[in-house]
């Protein structure tokens, strides 16, 4: 390079500069730099720095205007002093206006007495700052140095051309002119003129891109990479402060000693403090990373001054989770921060800082859009659709999560709707996935959350998983994170009793079998019928089994077929192996199980599952036959197309005869007829591998081998699963997201505080939340409008709060006490005793007792329906040391229902209620089916956690009726209470009644399912289920159906629990007599045709004369009673 030439070029360039003008001596012009800094940076490969704080993706606000997308929160960041960061919205001006001048007459600011209040507007974002003349002066000097640094010429033609073009563009802009006259020399009349000068200076300054993007300008304007992000609400106040290390202690006792300690021992670090509408956070300036988030809650307070903080210009921000101690530069800054935060707490944060109904963390959200889901089929489908529509974030919290669970079924050779594959797909699209799992005590539970974490974490860096609690360091051994939730983009949320794990997917049919493999239906002869297990028989078997037979079964159970997950071979599963010793007849009479003969498997081979990938594949031995069956199925399908339309029309007629059925899942009813129309069965498996479960028969093991069956599905029926879920959008969904954010941030603080790979999460703003587009109803189902409130059970160990929240318990009590006509409860447990019993603390039973007693004394028709499992789903041998858990839970359930002076039935009798079942009764669910021609039955496991009151109020969540779930300080739980606002005409207690649409539709659909009125033949459609109080329904339909069904099941299957079995000796005699299913299958089938639905009576006298509490000397007896209650 010719340096002389370069030098002459530089001089030539300088000579081509702006013409010399006579400058005003009272002003100093700030000319633009010689180069475009952003272009220079991009030339040097500085794209990431230029777009610091996230990409430049722009979104549209609900009320119009632009903002950065919320994904910017999760993008990599860098130092706040990094030059040329894109922190303001592209092509959007910054409007500046000085609205007032505050003059300080004290001696503190003699040289700079005027404080200028500046209002700024950037798009739809507005905020204000206060600055003195010296702050403008400091900014001007920093920009002068920046301009000088950028004026060094680069000797290339391309740069010279770019500079010339840049100068020409800037020449058309007005120059910032800084007033130089000191403020101390200004007269009173000149102050307003000075304000106009400074306003013009700042307005012109932000029009120059190089100065607008300068970090000193951004700090002057209180702007960061989080200022204009959509979803974070208004701009808010921001600025640099000093934060004391730790920040979890406030001044107590002697202030002087604390002051000395802080000055000598504490470390103060610079942090960029940001106040949003419902939270406070701070960022580390050197890398822009969020270091902590404080949510506004009912413990939120702001204190200032030396007496409160122990430091000069100190500010102490406190909530129920922690204390944050910061130090400002001046007394004015301290006062401004305090006033701003207190104002936020009174306005935008009021929903969380003021007391809410039921002492809940969140308020009632009016006119929320919500819906319910009965059983896992529709719930999982809606969750899958919602996840597939996620754009920014997915939050999942579960007690148990299995990555390989299929959310849509029947399963076909496509893994699109498998949970892990779906989350991986969204993560690859840039969606951030955050998962919170309960970290189990491995000696007690086999859910293997570590496997779930490792499997999901390995799929994509955008999937983050945390487990909690750490048992050794936290000392939490007895309690669990029991809530279940899924949140999509913080605007649509699911909750209820359904974990995304094995065994939960089900529909209203509650199938007992799933042998898989497409095959044509045929009649199986009696000689081909295998012996089949049920969990009820298994309980009886284990009760009466000897240790010798148990060891033999364990030995046989070790012989497992490897390689094919479904174990569709004849004798490959130890669970289907005949015990050694004894004849077949003896084995049958003892209820033992034995292998299925080869002829018991229908011809045609089987559909298998690849053990590693979980893909549906066809075994060699059956591929040709299955292909032939598929061809035949296609021919049959074409032939019956017209007949299907006829059938569907008939079904519509029968369904419409039930009245208003907007709540009936018609799509389910019609889809189920396809197999019947094609005359095929088992077209594809619904439950692959370990998803085919029967927890009473055998608990889960080896979760890390998901596609290997845990039981032999050709022998053992699955345990159907009945559950309830809910979904909500808008502000209530944001409340659920806020709960997740609080839990995530608390877990990060405890376990990954310094691990930058696990970010702090931010709650979205509630501003204009109802204007945001929610998920379409075609994806999640029809939505109702109602008032919703999110409730929880939370405490210090579970969410880090310095309080105990038991709002779920409070809501149950309040709605029971205020019930007018009926209460319908579905719950996994019913453990609640009289007040002051000394063992069980929750007051559900006391509230029910008082309300029923009031109805009896007032001669009022009042009903309480309680639907619960017939037996707890715990593996164990009743009567042996392995059956202690199932016995303990059964004891407490019966002690709450009908046994002992503290039970509700006995208390009502003692209070002169001659027939308590007139007011309250208990029920279970049971299903029958055929497996390879053999009649089978199984209880339907009720896992719901729900209460409906008066067709008006509904509570759906994860909380059981026991102390673990309701007291708040034990298991963590989440629930929603829905108060209907939309009404429809109905009947209650024989009178016209205005029923809520949400509660009424849910209750009627549940009644139809349990009473068998959802079936398409319409045979029972004449039953009127609108009035749950009328004796004609309560006694003439509900209780009569339950009693008749229970009698038929006992006659056909001799199943337990049964009122005929009061002792262990009686159980032995009871099981020794075979039922009709074995002695006369045809007569048994005729009897079973009279069964309606799944509803059965809860046996109140089962093992009534036995002691079911843990025996002294057992390890369970050493455990605290609170573990069971």
* Angstrom distance (rounded) from CA 19 to CA 1125: 88
Domains and CATH numbers, the chain: 25-220 (3.30.1520.10), 237-355 (2.30.29.30), 366-507+723-751 (3.30.870.10), 519-714 (no CATH), 829-942+982-1123 (no CATH)
Asked if residue 611 lies in contact with residue 564, where contact means CB atoms within 8 angstroms, the answer is: yes
Asked if residue 951 lies in contact with residue 832, where contact means CB atoms within 8 angstroms, the answer is: no
* Angstrom distance (rounded) from CA 504 to CA 514: 15
660 C-beta neighbours (distance < 10 Å), count: 15
Q: Give alpha helix (H) positions in 872-1023.
A: 884-897, 904-910, 963-966, 997-1011
- Mean pLDDT of residues grouped by 10 in the chain (1125 residues)? 40 42 75 67 47 59 79 87 83 94 79 92 94 94 88 62 60 81 85 93 92 92 94 94 72 54 74 96 94 96 91 93 93 94 96 97 97 97 97 97 95 87 97 97 90 97 96 82 97 97 96 72 44 53 42 39 33 34 35 34 38 40 43 46 40 36 45 42 75 89 90 94 98 98 96 93 92 84 96 97 97 98 98 92 97 97 98 71 77 94 96 96 98 95 98 98 97 98 97 98 97 66 91 97 98 93 88 93 96 97 87 77 87
C-alpha to C-alpha distances, 35 to 214, 259, 278, 455, 561, nearest whole angstrom? 14, 50, 42, 51, 73
- The pLDDT value recorded for residue 66 is 85
Among 464, 467, 466, 468, which residue's Cα sits nearest to residue 476? 468
To the nearest 10 degrees (0 to 180), the angle between helices 807-817 and 844-857 is 10
Torsion angle defined by CA atoms of residues 999, 1002, 1008 and 1010, in that order, rounded to the nearest 10 degrees: -100
* Angstrom distance (rounded) from CA 734 to CA 772: 12
Give the pairing type, strands 177-179 and 27-29.
antiparallel
Entry field: residues in the chain: 1125
905 C-beta neighbours (distance < 10 Å), count: 21
Residue 420 burial by CB count (10 A; 0-12/13-18/19+): exposed, middle or buried? Answer: buried
* Angstrom distance (rounded) from CA 365 to CA 346: 18
* Angstrom distance (rounded) from CA 441 to CA 467: 12
In sequence order, which residues have a C-beta less than 8 Å from that of residue 765 and are 6 or more positions away?
231, 232, 233, 234, 276, 277, 278, 348
- The pLDDT value recorded for residue 324 is 94
The rounded Cα 1093 to chain-centroid distance in angstroms is: 32
Among 1012, 1055, 1068, 1088, which residue's Cα sits nearest to residue 532? 1055
Asked if residue 397 lies in contact with residue 738, where contact means CB atoms within 8 angstroms, the answer is: no
Locate tokens 């754009």: which residue?
391
Locate tokens 């007394």: which residue?
331
In sequence order, which residues have a C-beta less than 8 Å from that of residue 122 and are 6 or more positions away?
88, 89, 92, 93, 94, 95, 228, 235
Q: Give alpha helix (H) positions in 360-411.
A: 376-388
Angle CA 1015–1020–1021, to nearest 5: 85
- The pLDDT value recorded for residue 943 is 98
Give the pairing type, strands 463-468 and 432-438.
parallel
Among 272, 275, 214, 238, which residue's Cα sits nearest to residue 88? 214
C-alpha to C-alpha distances, 10 to 15, 37, 566, 669, 1043, nearest whole angstrom? 9, 19, 81, 83, 102
* Angstrom distance (rounded) from CA 545 to CA 43: 81
Asked if residue 564 lies in contact with residue 705, where contact means CB atoms within 8 angstroms, the answer is: no
Locate tokens 């049958």: which residue?
588
Among 1019, 1037, 1020, which residue's Cα sits nearest to residue 1028? 1037
* Angstrom distance (rounded) from CA 199 to CA 417: 58
Residue 120's SS3 state is strand
Asked if residue 444 lies in contact with residue 451, where contact means CB atoms within 8 angstroms, the answer is: no
Q: What single string gives the DSSP state of each residue in 1080-1118?
A: -HHHHHHHHTT--SSEEEPPSSTTTTS--SPPTTSHHHH
* Angstrom distance (rounded) from CA 350 to CA 818: 28
Beta strands in 549-665 (DSSP E): 607-609, 616-618
DSSP state of 698: B
At residue 333, φ and ψ (nearest 5 deg) are -60, -40
153 C-beta neighbours (distance < 10 Å), count: 16
Token pair for residue 219? Answer: 């700090």
* Angstrom distance (rounded) from CA 500 to CA 435: 12
C-alpha to C-alpha distances, 398 to 45, 359, 760, 781, 873, nearest whole angstrom? 44, 24, 20, 23, 19
Among 557, 267, 436, which residue's Cα sits nearest to residue 799? 436
- The pLDDT value recorded for residue 161 is 63
Q: What single string gives the DSSP state of each residue in 777-815?
A: HHHH---EEEEEEEEEEE-HHHH--SS-EEHHHHHHHHH
Phi-psi region of 344 (alpha: psi -120 to 50; beta: other; left: phi over 0): alpha
* Angstrom distance (rounded) from CA 1062 to CA 1058: 8
* Angstrom distance (rounded) from CA 39 to CA 148: 17
Token pair for residue 430? Answer: 């840039």
pTM equals: 0.85
Say if residue 958 is preceded by a cis peptide, omega within 30 of 0: no
* Angstrom distance (rounded) from CA 885 to CA 873: 10
Give the pairing type, strands 393-398 and 432-438.
parallel
The rounded Cα 574 to chain-centroid distance in angstroms is: 38
C-alpha to C-alpha distances, 92 to 58, 122, 200, 673, nearest whole angstrom? 11, 7, 18, 59
């Amino acid at each position: 390079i010719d340096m002389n030439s370069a030098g002459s070029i530089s001089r030539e360039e300088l000579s081509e500069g702006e013409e010399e003008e006579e400058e005003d001596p009272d002003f100093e012009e700030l000319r633009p730099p010689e180069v475009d800094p952003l272009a220079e940076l991009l030339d040097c490969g500085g794209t990431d720095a230029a777009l610091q704080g996230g990409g430049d993706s722009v979104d549209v606000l609900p009320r119009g205007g632009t903002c950065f997308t919320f994904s910017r929160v999760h993008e990599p960041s860098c130092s706040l002093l990094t030059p040329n960061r894109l922190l303001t919205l592209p092509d959007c001006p910054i409007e500046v206006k000085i609205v007032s001048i505050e003059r300080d007459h004290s001696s503190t600011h003699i040289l700079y007495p005027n404080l200028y209040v500046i209002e700024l507007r950037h798009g739809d974002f507005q905020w204000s700052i206060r600055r003195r003349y010296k702050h403008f002066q400091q900014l001007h000097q920093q920009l002068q140095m920046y301009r000088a640094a950028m004026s060094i010429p680069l000797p290339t033609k391309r740069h010279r051309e770019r500079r010339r073009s840049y100068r020409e563009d800037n020449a058309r802009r007005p120059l910032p002119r800084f007033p130089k006259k000191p403020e101390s020399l200004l007269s009173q009349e000149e102050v307003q003129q000075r304000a106009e000068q400074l306003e013009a200076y700042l307005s012109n300054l932000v029009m120059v891109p190089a100065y607008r993007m300068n970090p000193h300008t951004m700090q002057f304007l209180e702007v960061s990479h989080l200022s204009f992000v959509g979803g974070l609400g208004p701009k808010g106040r921001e600025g640099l402060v000093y934060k004391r290390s730790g920040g979890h202690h406030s001044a107590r006792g002697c202030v002087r000693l604390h002051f000395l300690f802080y000055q000598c021992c504490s470390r103060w670090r610079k942090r960029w403090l940001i106040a949003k509408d419902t939270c406070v956070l701070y960022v580390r300036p050197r890398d822009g990373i969020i270091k902590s988030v404080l949510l506004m809650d009912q413990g939120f307070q702001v204190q200032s001054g030396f007496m409160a903080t122990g430091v000069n210009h100190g500010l102490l921000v406190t909530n129920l989770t922690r204390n944050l101690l910061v130090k400002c530069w001046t007394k004015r800054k301290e006062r401004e921060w305090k006033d701003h935060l207190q104002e936020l707490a009174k306005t935008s944060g009021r929903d969380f800082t003021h007391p809410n109904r039921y002492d809940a963390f969140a308020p009632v959200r009016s006119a929320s859009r919500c819906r319910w889901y009965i059983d896992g089929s529709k719930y999982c489908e809606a969750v899958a659709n919602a996840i597939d529509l996620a754009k920014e974030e997915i939050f999942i919290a579960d007690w148990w999560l299995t990555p390989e669970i299929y959310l849509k079924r029947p399963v076909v050779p496509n893994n699109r709707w498998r949970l892990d594959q779906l989350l991986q797909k969204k993560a690859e699209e840039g969606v951030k996935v955050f998962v919170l799992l309960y970290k189990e005590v491995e000696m007690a539970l086999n859910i293997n959350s570590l496997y779930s974490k490792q499997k999901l974490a390995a799929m994509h860096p955008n999937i983050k998983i945390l487990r909690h609690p750490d048992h050794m360091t936290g000392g939490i051994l007895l309690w669990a994170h029991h809530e279940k939730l899924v949140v999509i983009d913080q605007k649509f949320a699911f909750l209820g009793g359904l974990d995304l794990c094995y065994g939960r997917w089900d529909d209203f049919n509650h199938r007992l079998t799933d042998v898989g493999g497409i095959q044509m239906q045929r009649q199986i002869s009696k000689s081909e019928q295998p012996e089949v297990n049920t969990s009820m028989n298994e309980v009886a078997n284990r009760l009466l089994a000897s240790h010798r037979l148990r060891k033999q079964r364990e030995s046989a159970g070790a012989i497992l077929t490897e390689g094919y997950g479904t174990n569709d071979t004849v004798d490959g599963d130890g669970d289907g192996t005949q015990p050694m010793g004894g004849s077949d007849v003896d084995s049958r009479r003892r209820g033992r199980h034995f292998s299925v003969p080869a002829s018991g498997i229908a011809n045609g081979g089987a559909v298998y599952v690849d053990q590693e990938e979980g893909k549906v594949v066809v075994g060699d031995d059956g591929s040709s036959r299955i292909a032939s069956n598929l061809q035949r199925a296609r021919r049959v399908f074409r032939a019956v197309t017209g007949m299907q339309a006829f059938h569907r029309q008939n079904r519509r007629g029968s369904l419409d005869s039930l009245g208003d059925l907007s709540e009936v899942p018609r799509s389910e009813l019609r889809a189920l007829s396809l197999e019947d129309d094609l005359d095929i069965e088992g077209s594809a498996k619904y439950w692959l591998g370990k998803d085919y479960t029967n927890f009473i028969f055998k608990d889960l093991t080896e979760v890390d081998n998901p596609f290997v069956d845990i039981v032999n599905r050709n022998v053992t029926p699955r345990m159907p699963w009945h559950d309830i879920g809910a979904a909500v959008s808008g502000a209530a969904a944001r409340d659920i997201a806020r709960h997740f954010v609080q839990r995530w941030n608390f877990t990060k603080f405890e376990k990954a505080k310094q691990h930058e790979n696990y970010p702090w999460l931010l709650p979205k703003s509630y501003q204009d939340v109802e204007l945001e587009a929610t998920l379409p109803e075609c994806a999640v189902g029809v939505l109702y409008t109602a008032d919703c409130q999110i409730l929880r059970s939370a405490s210090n160990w579970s969410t880090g709060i310095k309080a105990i929240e038991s709002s779920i318990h409070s809501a149950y009590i309040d709605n029971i006490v205020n019930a007018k006509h009926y209460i319908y409860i579905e719950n996994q447990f019913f453990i609640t005793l009289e007040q002051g019993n000394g063992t069980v603390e929750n007051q559900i039973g006391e509230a029910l007792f008082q309300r029923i007693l009031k109805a009896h004394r007032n001669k009022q028709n009042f009903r309480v329906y309680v639907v619960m499992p017939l037996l707890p789903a715990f593996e164990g041998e009743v009567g042996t040391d392995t059956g202690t858990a199932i016995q303990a839970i059964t004891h407490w359930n019966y002690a709450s229902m009908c046994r002992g002076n503290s039970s509700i039935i006995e208390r009502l009798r003692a209070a002169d209620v001659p027939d308590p079942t007139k007011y309250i009764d208990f029920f279970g669910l049971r299903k029958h089916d055929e497996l390879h021609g053999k009649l089978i039955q199984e209880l339907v496991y009720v896992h719901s956690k729900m209460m409906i009151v008066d067709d008006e109020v509904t509570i759906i969540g994860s909380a059981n009726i026991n102390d673990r779930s309701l007291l708040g300080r034990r298991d963590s739980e989440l629930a929603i209470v829905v108060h209907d606002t939309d009404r429809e005409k109905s009947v209650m207690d024989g009178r016209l009644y205005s029923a809520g649409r949400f509660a009424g539709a849910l209750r009627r659909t549940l009644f139809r399912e349990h009473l068998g009125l959802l079936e398409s033949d319409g045979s029972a459609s004449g039953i009127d289920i609108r009035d749950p109080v009328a004796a004609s329904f309560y006694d003439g339909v509900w209780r009569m159906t339950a009693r008749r069904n229970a009698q038929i099941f006992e006659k056909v299957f001799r199943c337990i629990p049964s009122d005929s079995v009061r002792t262990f000796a009686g159980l032995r005699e009871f099981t020794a007599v075979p039922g009709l299913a074995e002695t006369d299958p045809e007569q048994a089938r005729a009897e079973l045709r009279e069964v309606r639905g799944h509803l059965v009576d809860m046996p109140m006298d089962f093992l009534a004369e036995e002691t079911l509490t843990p025996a002294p000397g057992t390890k369970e007896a050493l455990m605290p009673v609170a573990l069971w209650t």
